[in-house]
Chains A and B, each alone.
Chain A
Amino acid sequence: MSRVLMLIAIAFGNALRGIRRASTTSLLAVLTIAVVLVLVGSAALLVENMSGLLDEFGAELQVTAYLEPGLPAEAQRELAERVGSAPGVEAVLLVDEAAALARFERIAGGAELLAGLEENPLPASIEVRLRADARTAESLAVLTDSLEGLPGIAELAQGQEWIEGYARAVALARGIATGIGIVLGLAALLIVANTIRLAVYARRDELDILALVGASRTFVRVPFLLEGTIQGLLGGLVALLVVWGAYELLLPQVRFGLELVLGRAELHFFTTVESVRLVLAGAGLGLLGSMTALVGAGSET
């Protein structure tokens, strides 16, 4: 084994020895990092899924034209054709009264709700899907102006306001998650720094002896940096497991609620790359904490 590999092996050995020796404080550091990353990871997962839904809605931004009651089927089809030729329209879908009822029953189990009614209360509608280049406020305004004057259209509904509100909510959630991440990250950093500082203090005799026998500054410092990094890595792994467990546990309820409200719910957990990032964030926190501790530890290190 070359000298460099030997020094690396010794540094790892010393780091693991340090963790074993101060197992309680090390465990505290691991758990602190885990708690921080569980909170930050959960918030990130929430924001990620909210953004995903926003993108889906954005891609399917549409205008719904509700038709006047009693409009004959032939007139409905003609109206749909005219709407289809309006500026910015990619496609139209005519949903007659029967189709609207069937959709309501499928989503909300509405058969029981509507069982007492003699007539179908749901109006026919034309769902207008916009071209990608027309999904702007200005284009939408031009389209709604041209549709509002058409005979047979009772009301226009557009999802833009709702989507804008949702986008604001996503931005807020992202801001809050970032804020929480920064504050808790700093707290974790301080706790890891104190853990390492305690380790430096507890091992000052060893450090004195190492200095006596000619240990370089790097030889002395690297095990402490590794110690913090290992603690962070373990904290990151624990956090990933906890977030994954909570996701699996809560997924059925959340999915049911979203399907009820939105008609669908394409939720997903972190990708492999994102999961690795979460764990590495823990390692980074640990490493930064160790560096902070060593900067303040003085001449011993």
Chain B
Amino acid sequence: MRLYHVSKSYMAGQYALHDVSLEVRRGEFVFLTGPSGAGKTTLMELIFAAEQPSEGQILVLGRNVARIGAGAIPALRRRVGVVFQDFKLLQDRTVEENVRLALDVIGTPRREARARVFQMLKSVGLQHRRFHHPLSLSGGEQQRVALARALVNEPEILLADEPTGNLDPELTIEIMDLIVSASTRGTTVIVATHDHGLIDRYGKRVLRLENGRVVEDHPAASSSIGASA
């Protein structure tokens, strides 16, 4: 994943992101940090084509997101899993149905989809809750469901925007361990967080944003780095 002089402006002269250039390699784990309004969420939105940059180029999985047509966005998003602070689960669907959404949109046969969802829920420890509705789950469990949905398609990139923002410290570690384990299986991971304790605990690469600019790019204490994602 490469960004070349990327800027995003919602109003003339005011930048949410300003001249950001960076590279994230395949399988790399990156913490994106900075104060509120620094541009973390905007950066994430640009990567999964929820927004278009005002200037610059963004290469994600071989596609230039800055020039991507509307018809090509779904195919890109099937290769990018996304997790949010507020889980974004459908309350009228069961845990299994929520996770299966990512497989339904590509027409995965029902039997295969159920098997894959079961395995995914098992890996996040929620297979016994698959017929429950999200509201009957704890916050940590709901985030695990959201994570399962993001990962069930075996995406090449996982974006997590404050995934532990609503969770207590114990559940935070639980969710982060699951995200890190996805990374160890080869998925490129970017996690936006305010939580410095978390950043210190995992010792991964840290990109710090302030006022829409990258002000710090701190390498991982130890990491395996491959080709660009």
Asked if A pairs with B, the answer is: yes
From B101, B107, B110, name the one whose CB has the most chain A CB atoms within 10 angstroms: B107
Interface residue? A208 (CB, 8 A): yes
Q: Which of B73-81, B182-190, B202-210 contacts A (4 or more CB under 8 A)?
A: B73-81
C-alpha spacing A208/B71, complex, angstroms? 16
Contact yes or no, A213 B77, CB < 8 A:
yes
Report the stretch among A28-36, A46-54, A143-151, A214-222 that lies at the interface.
A214-222
Task: Tell me the chain A residues, 198-214 only, with Cβ under 8 Å from chain B.
Answer: 205-206, 208-214
Flag if B105 contacts A3 (CB, 8 Å).
no
Q: Which residues of A contact B82 (CB under 8 A)?
A: 212
- State whether the Cβ of B149 lies closer than 8 Å to any Cβ in chain A: yes
Cβ of B88 under 8 Å from chain A:
yes
Bound together, the chains give a CA A206 to CA B104 distance in angstroms of 13
Contact B78 A213 (CB under 8 A): yes
Q: A214-B74, A217-B71 are in contact. Are A208 and B88 (CB under 8 A)?
A: yes
Say whether A10 contacts B90, CB under 8 Å: no
User: A1, A209, A212: which contacts B109 (Cβ < 8 A)?
Assistant: A1
Q: Is B102 on the interface with A (CB-CB < 8 A)? A: yes
Is there an interface contact between B105 and A205, defined as CB atoms closer than 8 Å? no
Any A CB within 8 A of the CB of B108: yes
Q: Enumerate chain B residues within 8 angstroms of A21, measured Cβ to Cβ.
A: 92
Which residues between 96 and 139 of chain B lie within 8 Å of chain A, taking CB atoms?
Answer: 101-102, 104-110
- Is B221's beta carbon under 8 Å from chain A? no
Q: Give CA–CA (A3, B107) in the complex, Å.
A: 5
Residue with the highest number of chain B CB atoms closer than 10 Å, among A3, A6, A213, A214: A213
Q: Does A7 contact B (CB under 8 A)?
A: yes
Given known A-B contacts A1-B110, A21-B92, A209-B88, A10 and B104 have beta carbons under 8 A apart: yes
Q: Complex formed: what's the CA distance from A122 to B70 in Å?
A: 84
A249 within 8 A of B: no
Between A2, A212, A216, the greatest number of chain B beta carbons within 10 A of the residue's beta carbon is seen for A212
Total contacting residues, chain B, CB less than 8 A: 24
Q: Which residues of chain B are near A2, meaning CB under 8 Å?
A: 107, 109
Q: For the complex formed, measure the closest distance between the CB of A176 and the CB atoms of chain B, giving whole angstroms.
A: 46
Chain B positions 40-70 with a Cβ under 8 Å from a chain A Cβ: 48, 70
User: Which residue of chain B has the shortest Cβ distance to A13 in the bound complex?
Assistant: B104
Q: Determine how close the nearest CB of chain A comes to the CB of B49; give it in whole angstroms.
A: 10
In the docked arrangement, what's the CA distance between A206 and B134, Å?
Answer: 14
Once the chains bind, are B74 and A216 in contact (CB under 8 Å)?
A: yes
B105/A210 in contact, CB under 8 A: yes
* A4 adjacent to chain B (CB < 8 Å): yes
Q: Among the interface residues A2, A3, A4, A211, which one has the most CB atoms of the partner chain B within 10 A? A: A211
In the complex, which residue of chain B has the Cβ closest to the Cβ of A212?
A: B82
Report whether A212 and B106 are in contact in the complex, using a CB–CB cutoff of 8 Å: no
A6 cross-chain contacts in B, Cβ below 8 A: 104, 107-110
- Considering the chains assembled together, what is the distance between the CA atoms of A219 and B75 in angstroms? 13
B108 touches A213 (CB 8 A): no
Give the residues from 152 to 210 in chain A that come closer than 8 angstroms, CB to CB, to chain B: 205-206, 208-210
CA distance A4 to B74 in the complex (A): 17
Give the shortest distance, in Å, between A23 (CB) and chain B (any CB).
14
Indicate if the CB atoms of B102 and A214 lie closer than 8 Å.
yes
Smallest Cβ-Cβ distance to B107: which chain A residue: A3
Query: Do residues B77 and A10 form an inter-chain contact, with CB atoms below 8 A?
Result: no
Considering the chains assembled together, what is the distance between the CA atoms of A143 and B183 in angstroms?
101
Bound Cα distance A213, B104 (Å): 10
Say yes or no: B88 contacts A4, CB within 8 Å: no
Determine the residue in chain B with the shortest Cβ distance to A206.
B90
Distance of A211 Cα from B88 Cα, bound (Å): 12
Question: Could you tell me if B107 and A7 are in contact, using CB atoms closer than 8 angstroms?
Answer: yes
Report A-chain residues with C-beta under 8 Å of the C-beta of B105: 210, 213-216, 219
Query: How many Å from the CB of B120 to the closest CB on chain A?
Result: 13
Given A209-B88, A212-B88, A214-B102, A4–B107 Cβ distance below 8 Å? Answer: yes
**A213-B149 contact, Cβ under 8 Å, with A10-B104, A21-B92, A208-B88:** yes
CA distance A209 to B78 in the complex (A): 12
Pick from A1, A3, A209, A215: contact of B90, CB below 8 A: A209
Please list the residues of chain A having a beta carbon within 8 angstroms of any beta carbon in chain B: 1-4, 6-7, 10, 21, 205-206, 208-217, 219
Interchain Cβ contacts under 8 Å between A and B, 8 examples: A3-B106, A3-B108, A3-B109, A10-B104, A209-B88, A209-B89, A213-B105, A216-B71
**10 A-B pairs with least C-beta separation:** A3-B107, A214-B78, A214-B77, A215-B105, A7-B107, A213-B102, A6-B107, A214-B74, A216-B74, A10-B104
